[in-house]
A and B are shown apart, each in its own frame.
Chain A
Amino acid sequence: MPENPPKLSENLEDYLETISSLSADTGAARPSDIAAAMNVKRPSVTAALNSLREKGLVEYEKYRPVTLTQDGEAVAKNVRRKHELLSDFFTNVLGVNASEADLAACRMEHALEDSIMKKLVKFLKGRGAGMCSGCPNRSPGCESSCPHAVALSDLSKGERAVVLSIDRKLGNLGTYAGMGLAIGSTVSVLRVAPLGDPVIISVHGSEISMRKSQLKNIMVKRI
C-alpha cells in the first residue's frame, strides 16, 4: 500500500471495488460488465475509468478489459477490509442481521478514516470477537502467523476457543466434522485423562475425546 493513497471520491472507490471483485470472479472486468454491475450508463464508466487512469490506479485502453495497478489493488483492498470490518462489527457485536449490516457497511466504508479503522480493529481484537472470516488481517496462510492462534493442545482445562483452521494431517476431516469439529466451532477443554492424555473437548453440544497429538493439528483462538 502506498504511503499516502490519493483521496478518492466515494464513487471512484466503488468503481475500484467493483473492478476488483469482477476480476476475482470472472478473471476480467470489461467496461460493459462494470456498467451492468454498478447499474450505470457506459459513458459514466468511461469517464470514471479515465479519471482512475490519471491517478495511476487502473490500466485501461478502449475495448480491452480493465486491470487494477498495484496501487489500485491496494486501495480496493483497503476499502474491502473496511467493509468486512464494519459488517462484522454490525453483525457480531451489535447483532444486526446480515443484509442490513451489508447495506450499512456499503455506505459507511467510504467515510471511515484509516485511523478510526485502526482503532476499531484494536477494539475488536481486544474483545477477541469474531472468527477469521471477520478478521481485518485475514490473508492466505495467516493462521500460521496469527498472534492470537494457538494449538488446541496448548489450552488448559476450562478454556474456551474458536477453531481457526484444521490441518489436513489430522486425517479424515469429514469424520471429525460429523462429530462437531469444524472451522468456526467453539470448543472448550473439559477434562484431561488421569494419565495425562487423552483430552475431552466439548464442541457443538457434544463431548469428544482425542489425544494431544491430534489436538496439535487444530489451530484456535482463545475467547
Chain B
Amino acid sequence: MRDGHFRILLAGNPNSGKTTIFNELSGMRAKVGNYAGVTVERKTGGFSAGGCEIEVEDLPGVYTLSASSAEEKIAADAISAGDFDLIVNVVDSSNFERNLFLTMQLAEMKMPMIVALNMSDELEKEGKFVDAPALSAALGVPVIKTTGFDKRSIAELKNFIAKNARACTLAHFPWKSAGDNILTRKIAEISRVLSDALPPPFKSYSDWMAVRFLEKDPSVTASVRERAPHIYEAARERAAALEAQTDETSESLVAAARYRIIDSICMPCLKTRAHARTNFTKMLDAVFLNRFVGIPIFFALMYGVFEFVFALGEPLMGLLESLFAYAADSISASWPEGSFPLAKKLLVEGVIGGVGGVFVFLPNVALLFLALSILEDSGYMARAAFLCDRAMRRFGLSGSSVIPMLLGFGCSVPAIMATRSLKSRFERIATIMVIPLFSCGARFPVYMLLIPAFFAQKYCGPVMFAIYIIGIAAAMLLAKALRETVVKGEDSSFLIELPPYRLPRAKTVSLEVWGRTSGFIKKAGTVILAMSIILWLLSTFPEKESFSRDYAAEIAKVESNPELGAGAKAEKVSELENAKLSEAFDHTAMGRIGSALEPVFRPLGYDNKIVSALLGSLAAKEVFISQLGIIYGSGSGTSGSDTTLREKIAADYDTAQGISILIFILLTAPCVATIATTYTETKSLKVACAQFFGLALIAYCAAFVFYRIALLA
C-alpha cells in the first residue's frame, strides 16, 4: 500500500447497522457495482481522516464465513485474499453474543482487525452496556463503541480506523482459552499436519485452517485437497476419528465450542446497569404476529402502501404533467416558423411526449420505493416472510420467497436478484418464474394512465388493488403448477432472522430511494429516450399525405352546427380527430407492423395502436405510454385541443377493451432487462425462454377470457 493510503473491509452480520456505517463513512462517494461472476452487490467508497486516504469496501452481511452461500463465499474470499490493511468488524451490541460468532472466526484468522460495537445506544436503553476495554483485552483487538448515525461517533470511528490502519495488533487466537479437551487436541493435531504442508510464510495460518477444516468449510477443504491430497487424507482421518469418538458432527462441536469461548471470555464484558425497560420489539410482535390480527394487519399494510402511493402521488403527478405540457407548448410557440419542422416534431412529440409521459410517474415510483424501503429497514419484511411461510408452502414456495415477491412490486430485476436467499434451486426457479406477475413499478404508470380512463374516480383505488390481487393469484397458481410438474421435489428449509424493530433512518432510506429512483431516471433518460425516438420515427414515417376524408372541413361543419350542444360538439370533434389519427397511423411503419399483427390480437379487442405499444413495452413497460403518447401526439399543441393522453384513450376504447389491456399488461412477458436478469441468475436459457413465452401465452389467454366476460357484462 502507498504511504497514507489504506484499504479497509467492513464485515458484519446482516442487520448489524453495517450499511449505515458504510453510508456515513463514504458519504455520497459510494460506488455500487457487482462482484465478478455473481450479482451480489459490491459497494466501495472512501474517506480521509488523520491525513490518510482510506478506501472502504462493504462486504455482504453474513452470519458466518463457512462459505456455503454466494455472500459467505465472497466475504470469506475477500478476507483470505489479504489485500487490505484492516478489517472493521461491525458488531450489533444489542445482539452481542450471536454477532461475536463471526468476530471469533475473524480473530481466528489473525488478521489486523478492530471491532466497532455498533448500536451501543440501543443496548443502553435496555439498561446494559459493554465494557469495551475489557472486551478489547479479552480479544486482543482494539474496540470502539459507535452509533451509526451520530456524526460525532462517525468522526471518532474515522480517526480510530486511521490510527489502527497504520499499526494494528493481531487478535489472540481465541481457541487458546477453550481449555484442553478432545476437540482442541484434534485442532492442534490437524494444525500440525497442515503446517507441514504449508509454505513457510503461511505456517501461522495452520491453526485457523484446522478449525475451518473441522467446520467443513468448502473453500478450505477444497484447497487442501487440491494442493496436498495426502495431507487432506491425514486431516480427514483425524476429523473422522473425532466424529466417531464424540458421535457428533465436527462442525457442531466447533460451533458449540465457539459459543462456549464467547460465553467465557466475552460475556463477562456485558454488564447490566439498570433494570431493563419494556421490550419494544416484543410489544410490537405481540400485535404484528398475533394469532388473530397478524395476517389481517399484513394485508392492511400492503393495502396501505398502495393507497399511500396512489393518493399521495396523484397531485404531484398532475403538477409534472402540466409542467411537461407547458414545456411542449412553449417550445412550439417559440420555434421559428417554418424552419426544421421535423426537428420540432421530434422534440415535442418524440422526446417530450415519450420521455415526459414516463417522467410524470416519478413521484409514484419514488413513493413506492420509499414504502418498500421503510418496510425493509423497519424489520417488517422478515415478519412478512414468517407470517406467510405456511401459506407459501402450500404453493410449493417458502416464506423467504415473500420478500423477493414484495420487491417485485418495485422492480422485477432486484427481486430476481433477491431470490439468492432461497436455498433450494427448484424453489428459486419457481419464484423467479412468477416474480414478473407481481406487478412491477414500471407497469404501475400504465395502470395510472389507463384505470382513470375507463373507471370513475371512486373505483380507481379498488380496481388498482384488484389488478395487484389478480397478479398475485396468477403467480401463486403458476408457482403451484410449476412445483407440481416441472420443478417438483426438494422441500427446502426456511431459516431467517427476525431482527429487532428499528425506526428507519431518514438518511439510509433516502439513499436507498435515491439509488432506485435515479435508476428509473437513468432508464427514462437512456433506454426509454432511445426507444421513444425509434418508435417516433417508426410511428411518423412514412407520412400520410392525403386522407380519405376531409377531416378539417368536417370538424368545421360540426363546430358551426347550431343544433348541437357544447358537450355533443366536443365529443363529435374528438371522434373525428381520433379517426384522422388512426388513418395517419395506419400508414406509418409501426402502424403497418401493428396491422400485420392485429389479427392475432383482434380476439382481445386490440387495434394496431395498442399492438404497437405492447411491442414497445417489451423494451420497458413504461414505453407502452410513450408509444401511445407518440401516436396521439401528446405534449404537442398541434391537435388543436388541450385534451390529455388519458382523455384521448378514453374516447378511443371502451371499458371492455380497457380491462383486456390491463390484464394483458399485468401478465405478459416481462421486459428485456428482467429476462436478461433471469438468464444471468439461473444460467439457464431454458428458464429465460420459458418465462418469456410462458407468461406471454398466459397473458393472451387471460386477456381473452376477461375481454369476453366484460363484453357480456
Please report A residues at the B interface, Cβ cutoff 8 Å. 25, 98, 140-141, 143, 165-166, 168, 170-180, 182-185, 191, 193-198, 200, 203-211, 213-214
Distance, CA A25 to CA B180, complexed state (A) = 13
B493 at the interface (CB under 8 A from A): yes
Distance, CA A214 to CA B495, complexed state (A) = 9
B260 at the interface (CB under 8 A from A): yes
Residues of B within 8 A of A177 (CB): 64, 66, 101, 251-252, 254-255, 258
B460 at the interface (CB under 8 A from A): no
Taking a contact as CB atoms under 8 Å apart, the answer to whether A182 and B259 are in contact is: yes
Taking a contact as CB atoms under 8 Å apart, the answer to whether A179 and B255 are in contact is: no
* Contacting residue for A173 out of B251, B259, B389, CB 8 A: B251
Best-buried of B63, B245, B246, B491 by chain A (most CB within 10 Å): B63
Taking a contact as CB atoms under 8 Å apart, the answer to whether B258 and A182 are in contact is: yes
Distance to closest chain A CB from B98 (angstroms): 4
Distance, CA A182 to CA B101, complexed state (A) = 11
Distance, CA A208 to CA B247, complexed state (A) = 26
Nearest 4 A-B pairs (CB), nearest first? Answer: A178-B64, A174-B66, A178-B63, A177-B255
Distance, CA A165 to CA B97, complexed state (A) = 20
Q: Name A163's closest neighbour in chain B (CB-CB).
A: B256
Per-residue A-contact encoding for B275-313, CB less than 8 Å = 1, 0 else: 000000000010001111011000000000000000000
Distance, CA A94 to CA B550, complexed state (A) = 105
Interface of A is mostly: mixed
Distance, CA A207 to CA B289, complexed state (A) = 13
Distance to closest chain B CB from A199 (angstroms): 9
Total interface residues on B, CB under 8 Å, equals 56
Taking a contact as CB atoms under 8 Å apart, the answer to whether A168 and B249 are in contact is: yes
Residues 468-495 of B at the A interface (beta carbon under 8 Å): 491, 493-495
* Contacting residue for A214 out of B215, B289, B493, CB 8 A: B493
Residues 244-272 of B at the A interface (beta carbon under 8 Å): 245-249, 251-256, 258-260
B96 at the interface (CB under 8 A from A): yes
Distance, CA A170 to CA B215, complexed state (A) = 15
B62 at the interface (CB under 8 A from A): yes
Residues of B within 8 A of A209 (CB): 382, 385-386, 389, 399, 494-498
Taking a contact as CB atoms under 8 Å apart, the answer to whether B62 and A193 are in contact is: no
Distance to closest chain A CB from B192 (angstroms): 15
A175-B386 contact, Cβ under 8 Å, with A98-B179, A183-B255: no
Residues of B within 8 A of A180 (CB): 97-98, 101, 259
Residues of A within 8 A of B641 (CB): none
A183-B251 contact, Cβ under 8 Å, with A174-B66, A195-B390, A200-B386: no
Distance, CA A91 to CA B315, complexed state (A) = 70
Taking a contact as CB atoms under 8 Å apart, the answer to whether A193 and B68 are in contact is: no
Residues of A within 8 A of B256 (CB): 182-185
Distance to closest chain B CB from A157 (angstroms): 11
Best-buried of A177, A179, A210 by chain B (most CB within 10 Å): A177
A183-B494 contact, Cβ under 8 Å, with A140-B247, A205-B98, A206-B98: no
Q: Name B94's closest neighbour in chain A (CB-CB).
A: A205
Taking a contact as CB atoms under 8 Å apart, the answer to whether A184 and B386 are in contact is: no
Distance to closest chain B CB from A156 (angstroms): 14
* Contacting residue for B63 out of A165, A166, A175, A203, CB 8 A: A175
Residues of B within 8 A of A203 (CB): 98
Taking a contact as CB atoms under 8 Å apart, the answer to whether B259 and A185 are in contact is: yes
Residues of A within 8 A of B254 (CB): 177
A sample of 15 more A-B contacts (CB under 8 A), given A174-B64, A183-B253, A205-B98, is A172-B66, A176-B495, A177-B255, A179-B63, A179-B497, A180-B101, A182-B258, A185-B256, A206-B98, A208-B498, A209-B385, A209-B399, A210-B494, A211-B393, A211-B493
* Contacting residue for B217 out of A174, A191, A197, A207, CB 8 A: A174
Taking a contact as CB atoms under 8 Å apart, the answer to whether A193 and B247 are in contact is: no
B420 at the interface (CB under 8 A from A): no
Residues of B within 8 A of A191 (CB): 285, 289
Residues of B within 8 A of A196 (CB): 390
B95 at the interface (CB under 8 A from A): yes
A170-B217 contact, Cβ under 8 Å, with A194-B294, A198-B399, A206-B95: no
Q: Name A142's closest neighbour in chain B (CB-CB).
A: B247
Q: Name A99's closest neighbour in chain B (CB-CB).
A: B179
Q: Name A174's closest neighbour in chain B (CB-CB).
A: B66
Distance to closest chain A CB from B79 (angstroms): 15
Per-residue A-contact encoding for B591-632, CB less than 8 Å = 1, 0 else: 000000000000000000000000000000000000000000
Distance to closest chain B CB from A222 (angstroms): 19
Residues of B within 8 A of A213 (CB): 491, 493
Residues of A within 8 A of B259 (CB): 180, 182, 184-185, 204
Distance, CA A179 to CA B290, complexed state (A) = 24
* Contacting residue for A178 out of B101, B291, B292, B385, CB 8 A: B101
Distance, CA A184 to CA B263, complexed state (A) = 11
Q: Name A197's closest neighbour in chain B (CB-CB).
A: B390
Taking a contact as CB atoms under 8 Å apart, the answer to whether B63 and A194 are in contact is: no
Distance to closest chain A CB from B256 (angstroms): 4
Distance, CA A213 to CA B212, complexed state (A) = 28
List, sorted by A's number, 22 A–B pairs whose CB atoms are closer than 8 Å: A25-B185, A140-B246, A172-B66, A174-B68, A174-B255, A175-B66, A182-B255, A182-B256, A183-B248, A183-B255, A185-B259, A193-B389, A197-B389, A198-B399, A204-B97, A204-B259, A205-B97, A206-B97, A206-B497, A209-B386, A209-B498, A211-B389
Residues of A within 8 A of B391 (CB): 195
Residues of B within 8 A of A193 (CB): 289, 294, 386-387, 389-390
Distance, CA A205 to CA B262, complexed state (A) = 13
Taking a contact as CB atoms under 8 Å apart, the answer to whether A166 and B290 are in contact is: no
Q: Name B247's closest neighbour in chain A (CB-CB).
A: A140
Best-buried of A170, A185, A206 by chain B (most CB within 10 Å): A206
* Contacting residue for A174 out of B185, B251, B393, B423, CB 8 A: B251
